[in-house]
């Protein structure tokens, strides 16, 4: 690989004076496989190296307004820079000395937004004055009724993969890493937090009942990791470099659930080297947060569906922490290679869980992932389906195969070369590529250079190209099996043989055991068996969101109408896409009966969902019948 075109190499290594002192601009990749089709930017001509935001959160209008000042690194003779935007209202663009700069917005694309092209006129720093739209895809503005405290409004952002262009005009590509800082002004009874070092923890009076908070990120990050939240927030220290933010009513539960985080950091460092981001804090969000977690550096965003009281879902915390190495430290250059982000992280997460809780608990997670792997391959159309490839068109890999197939790939390498040798390789890999973008081709070149080292027999056994570029699952794939889940399988067999549910001892079951059981039940069951399950195990009232979702999937598949009140309650309270998308999809598979229910549920719950989740569900319920 190479990091700059030869003609640019001598001129693009020195950042403008306005950039963070002592920080060189991050390299970019210019190989053909690193071309990002989801950005309008032409970074080989001119690229953003630093973003300075000065924004006000307007809760009445539901917009962010202010300025973004961008440091520009341009090739000799470059006349313009191209930025990504999505429905931003651009007021002006000026140079650092105040000169107005010519600019134009290109045609809008429903997926990519519109390019903002700015004539540089020798400017090395440009300021865009703008505001976002109320429907910005990255931002969700919540009324007080949709929060835990019910008293104050709430705002949070979700940038991955290309949503941040709806509130920040920049080059929104994971391969164009940028340092950044921000001043965010909010109502004085709210607190702002961001994925960066917090310079003003108490805020600074800004007049008119507002306070300003300042933040700084001195490490270059992919722009999708710039994240913001504003609300009635409180903080609890969990360790010397970790803590949790959330609404006050959830603080005690969150502090207990995430109490092992400091030990997780220690375990991660012992595996793959130092944690390079300073603090590792977490933000527990309202239920509309669309994901289990989001690895925003220094401030992981987490769903409240993790609060089960038994720490059985802290694998999500381990996953987001692992992203501090895979994803945040070494980043996929384009979304065609997102398995470099999620597959690496799922493997690393499992190693953290094993270090903390032992091999059997880690085996449970791996075994369940294998179940998901098999389901996704089948749902994609089988082992020959193009969408079962790790490297492909951006966003094309089916389901969670980026996670499952990617992690099994790495586990298979570990099994063949030995854990000690593979750990040493991975630690060196993170060091060699720290704060840089990466491609599948780049990873394969690196592992051949630093692990295989010309060993033709090892190359044959690993089947690297088969794993990375071909569909399906290679025959050398390693399936880790769990003894704990094998016991659940015995309970499943007893159920299938007609044993009453009351004979199954679920006392103390973890989330993973519940999921193995519920997902393993026959998809067609008579109403009396469903009633027995629900009345004995109290599934329709389960406070564990994973359990409830799995039960509702089964109920929908059988048109079990006694579960419909639980379904309405659940889809109206939970906005995590992983848990609600299958419910809407299952309803749509039930023809007119399910379609009417799905449309009614969505009409009532849409306002509580993140814009991205709402758009996904709308596509599900409006898709033409197969």
* Other C-beta atoms lying within 10 Å of the C-beta of residue 61: 13
Whether the CA torsion 260, 266, 271, 272 is positive or negative: it is: positive
Partners of 141 in the β-ladder = 155
Residues forming a β-bridge with 180? 51, 217
What HEC string does 274-307 produce? CCCCCCEEEEECCCCCCCCEECCCCEEEECHHHC
Three-state secondary structure readout of 422-455: HHHHHHHHHHHCCCEEECHHHHHHHHHHHHHCCC
For this structure, is 320 an active site residue? Answer: yes
- Which pair of structure tokens corresponds to residue 116? 């903002």
The answer to whether 584 is a known catalytic residue is: no
Tokens linked to 423: 């750990």
The Cα 219–Cα 222 span in angstroms is 10
Contacting residues for 329 by C-beta, under 8 A, at least 6 apart: 276, 430, 433, 434, 435
| From 197, 257, 320, 354, the catalytic residue | 320
Q: Dump the DSSP string for 553-590.
A: HHHHHTT-GGGHHHHHHHHHH---HHHHHHHHHHHHTT
**Catalytically annotated residue among 403, 429, 560, 584:** 403
How far apart are the C-alpha atoms of 30 and 173, rounded to whole Å? 13
The strands making up 80-85's β-sheet, listed across from edge to edge, are 80-85, 114-119, 103-105
Do strands 242-246 and 154-157 pair parallel, antiparallel, or not at all (unpaired)? unpaired
Contact between 45 and 74 (Cβ < 8 Å): yes
Please check whether residue 26 is in contact with residue 177, taking contact to mean a CB–CB distance below 8 angstroms: yes
Cis check: omega of the bond before 618, within 30 degrees of 0: no
Per-position b or e across 240-258, b if 16+ CB within 10 A of its CB: eebbbbbbeebbebbbebb
Measured torsion, CA atoms of residues 409, 411, 414, 419, in degrees rounded to the nearest 10: 160
Residue 275 burial (CB count, 10 A)? 17
Query: DSSP label at 503?
Result: G
Under DSSP, is residue 500 helix (H, G, I), strand (E, B) or coil?
A: coil
Check residue 95 and give left, alpha or beta (phi > 0: left; psi -120 to 50: alpha): beta
Provide the annotated active-site residues: 320, 403
């Amino acid at each position: 690989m190479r990091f700059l075109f030869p003609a640019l190499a001598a001129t693009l290594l020195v950042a403008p004076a306005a950039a963070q002192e002592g920080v060189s601009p991050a390299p970019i990749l210019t190989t053909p496989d690193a071309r990002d089709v989801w950005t309008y930017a032409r970074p080989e001509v001119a690229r953003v190296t630093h973003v300075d935001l000065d924004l006000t959160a307007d809760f009445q209008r539901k917009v962010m307004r202010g300025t973004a000042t961008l440091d520009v690194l341009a090739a000799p003779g470059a006349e313009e820079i191209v930025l990504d935007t999505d429905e931003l209202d651009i007021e002006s663009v000026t140079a650092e000395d105040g000169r107005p700069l010519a600019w134009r917005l290109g045609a809008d694309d429903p997926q990519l937004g519109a390019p903002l092209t700015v004539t540089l006129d020798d400017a090395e720093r440009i300021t865009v004055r703008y505001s976002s739209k109320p429907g910005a895809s990255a931002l969700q503005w919540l009324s007080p009724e949709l929060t835990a405290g019910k008293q104050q409004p709430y705002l949070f952002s979700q940038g991955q993969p290309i949503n941040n262009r709806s509130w920040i005009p920049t080059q929104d590509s994971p391969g164009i890493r940028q340092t950044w800082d921000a001043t965010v002004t909010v109502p004085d009874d709210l607190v702002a937090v961001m994925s960066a070092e917090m310079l003003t923890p108490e805020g600074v009076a800004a007049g008119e009942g507002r306070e300003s908070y300042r933040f700084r990120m001195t490490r270059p990050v992919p722009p999708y990791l710039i994240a913001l939240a504003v609300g009635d927030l409180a903080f609890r220290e969990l360790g010397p470099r970790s803590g949790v933010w959330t609404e006050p009513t959830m603080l005690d539960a969150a502090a207990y659930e995430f109490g092992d985080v400091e030990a997780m950091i220690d375990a991660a460092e012992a595996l793959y080297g130092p944690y390079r981001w300073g603090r590792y804090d977490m933000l527990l969000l309202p239920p509309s947060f669309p994901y289990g977690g989001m690895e925003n550096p220094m401030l992981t965003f987490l769903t409240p569906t993790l609060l089960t009281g038994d720490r059985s879902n802290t694998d999500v915390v381990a996953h987001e922490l692992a992203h501090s190495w895979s994803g945040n430290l070494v980043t996929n250059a384009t979304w065609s290679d997102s398995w470099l982000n999620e597959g690496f992280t799922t493997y690393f997460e499992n190693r953290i869980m094993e270090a903390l809780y032992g091999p059997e608990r880690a085996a449970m997670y791996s075994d369940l992932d294998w179940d998901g792997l098999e389901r996704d391959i089948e749902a994609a159309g089988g082992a020959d389906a193009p969408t079962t490839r790790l490297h492909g068109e951006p966003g094309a890999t089916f389901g969670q195969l980026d996670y499952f197939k990617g992690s099994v790939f790495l586990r298979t390498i570990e099994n063949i070369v030995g854990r000690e040798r593979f750990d040493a390789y991975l630690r060196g890999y993170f060091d060699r590529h720290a704060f840089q973008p990466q491609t599948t081709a780049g990873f394969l070149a690196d592992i051949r250079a630093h692990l295989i080292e010309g060993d033709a027999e090892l190359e044959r056994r690993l089947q690297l190209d088969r794993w990375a570029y071909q569909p399906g699952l290679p025959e050398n794939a390693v399936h880790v099996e769990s003894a704990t889940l094998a016991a659940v399988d015995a309970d499943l067999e007893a159920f299938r043989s007609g044993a009453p549910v009351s004979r199954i001892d679920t006392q103390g079951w973890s989330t993973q055991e519940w999921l193995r059981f519920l997902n393993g039940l026959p998809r067609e069951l008579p109403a009396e068996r469903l009633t027995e399950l629900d009345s004995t195990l109290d599934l329709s009232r389960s406070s564990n969101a994973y359990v409830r979702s799995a039960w509702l999937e089964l109920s929908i598949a059988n048109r079990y109408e006694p579960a419909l009140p639980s379904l309405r309650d659940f889809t109206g309270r939970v906005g995590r896409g992983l848990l609600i998308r299958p419910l809407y999809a299952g309803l749509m598979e039930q023809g007119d009966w399910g379609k009417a229910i799905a449309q009614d549920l969505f009409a009532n719950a849409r306002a509580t969902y993140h814009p991205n989740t709402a758009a996904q569900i709308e596509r599900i319920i409006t898709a033409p019948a197969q």
